[in-house]
Structure 1
Amino acid sequence: MNKILDMKKISLLLGAGLVFLVSSCTVVYPGVATNNKIVKSGEVEAKLFLGLGNVDVGLYQAAKNGGITKIATYDYSIRAGLFTTKYKTIVTGE
Structure 2
Amino acid sequence: MLKKIKTVFGLLAVTAMMTGCSLTLPVNATSNTVGTKVGTAKATGYLGVLFFDADASIRTAAKNGGITKISTVDIKHTSILNLVVTYETIVTGE
| Alignment TM-score, normalising by the size of structure 2 | 0.67
Q: Secondary structure at the match of 2:51?
A: coil
**One-letter amino acid matched to 2:51:** G
2:33 matches 1:34? no
From 42, 45, 69, give the equivalent of 2:42: 45
Q: Which has the higher helix share?
A: 1
**What is the CA–CA distance in structure 2 between the aligned matches of 1:42 and 1:19, rounded to whole Å?**
33
Aligned pair in 2 of structure 1 residues 18, 39: CA closer, same or farther (>3 Å)?
closer
Deviation, structure 1 residue 27: 1.7
Count, aligned residues? 90
Q: Which runs of 4+ in 1 moved over 2 A?
A: 14-25
Indicate the residue corresponding to 1:84 in structure 2: 84
Q: Any gaps of 5 or more consecutive residues in structure 1?
A: 1-13
Compute the RMSD of aligned alpha carbons.
Answer: 2.8
Q: What amino acid maps onto 1:29 in structure 2?
A: L
**Cα deviation, residue 35, structure 1:** 2.5
Match of 1:57 in 2: 56
Q: Percent identity at matched positions? A: 40
Larger Rg: 1
TM-score normalised per structure 1: 0.67
Q: Does 1:93 align with 2:93?
A: yes
Structure 2: stretches of 5+ with no match in the other structure: 1-9
1:23-50 alpha-carbon deviations (Å, 9 max, x no partner): 4222211245212131321111222222
> Could you tell me which amino acid in structure 1 is paired with residue 32 of structure 2?
N
